[in-house]
Amino acid sequence: MEDKITMHNRPTIWIIVGWIFALIVVTIGVLNLFLVHPVPGIAYLLISLVYFPPVNSYIRSKFGFGIPAIVKILLGIVLIMFTLGVSDLGDMIDKL
């Protein structure tokens, strides 16, 4: 019984990656909020909630299912491509 408790409390690589990517998306959201326009900034901040592990646990406990990892990966690829390719924030980064 004790092994399950200590093993469950240990952070896994996916939890760490989730926190790191959530913080990256929050940073992009804050930058969009102040440098570009509030609407994409708020959208990025709301999307970043998908990547925070406590929010994912809450969704899983509330609705009985979580967001699959493949959906998170595809959403992350789309977010990065959109940020660097289409958005005004990507243009600002290119000018630096």
Average pLDDT over residues 12-27: 88
Residue 70: how many CB atoms within 10 A of its CB?
8
Q: Which run of H or of E encompasses 73?
A: helix 69-85
Please say if the pLDDT value at position 1 is more than 60. Answer: no
Q: How many domains does the chain have?
A: 1
Cβ pair 84, 90 in contact under 8 A = yes
φ and ψ of 61, to 5 deg: -75, -35
Q: Which domain holds residue 37?
A: 2-95
Tokens of 49: 């909630």
pLDDT tens, 25-78? 999 889 888 888 888 889 999 999 988 989 888 888 998 888 888 898 899 888
Residue 3 and residue 26: Cα distance in Å, rounded?
35
